[in-house]
A = this chain, B = another copy of it.
Amino acid sequence: MSKADPEATPREFLPHDHAHCVSDAMAAAESLCAESGARLTPVRRRVLEILLEGHRPMGAYDVLSRLDAEGLGSKPPVAYRALGFLVDQGLAHRIERLNAFIACPHPSGQDHVAAFLICRDCGTVAEVPSAPPPLPAGFQVEQTTIEAVGLCTACADGPAT
């Protein structure tokens, strides 16, 4: 497994073998849950798959309508609970700016600090590793949200040719 280069353009903004990217993340999720004892139930697993397949942020109700179509649940709490579980386990993240959720491309079990790059044109979101920003001593940080809105390389270069 190669370490991510924090300088490089994130994979999300480039063409890539997405099926592979989904199966890798699912495998990682399975083994993390097995290890921690967390129960990756059918609904939860399917929600994670839906997020991974979408490969973009999805609202809770978007996820829910997928679940509903598949007979896995039709009421909001079903989706919110599964998403809450995934976020708690570090398998997905909530994008505050979008009221949406996205699968973590490199779940690690730890509660890693990440920054999200949100392209306002194509809607793609990339997760990049990040350090907690320097903050005044004295405030005891427990969780940090970093979200940047802007234009990805593709959208900045060729604005709808």
Query: Which residues of A come within 8 Å of B, CB atoms?
Result: 6-10, 13, 96-97, 115, 117, 119-120, 126, 128, 130-153, 156
Name A's interface SS. mixed
6 A-B pairs with CB atoms under 8 Å apart are A6-B134, A117-B139, A135-B148, A138-B153, A139-B148, A145-B147
In the assembled complex, which residues on chain B have CB atoms less than 8 Å from the CB atom of A134? 6, 130-131
Contact across chains for A136 and B128 when beta carbons are under 8 A apart: yes
Identify 14 new A-B residue pairs, CB closer than 8 A, beyond the known A139-B152, A146-B146.
A10-B139, A97-B145, A126-B139, A132-B148, A133-B146, A133-B148, A139-B151, A140-B151, A141-B148, A141-B150, A142-B148, A144-B147, A144-B149, A145-B146
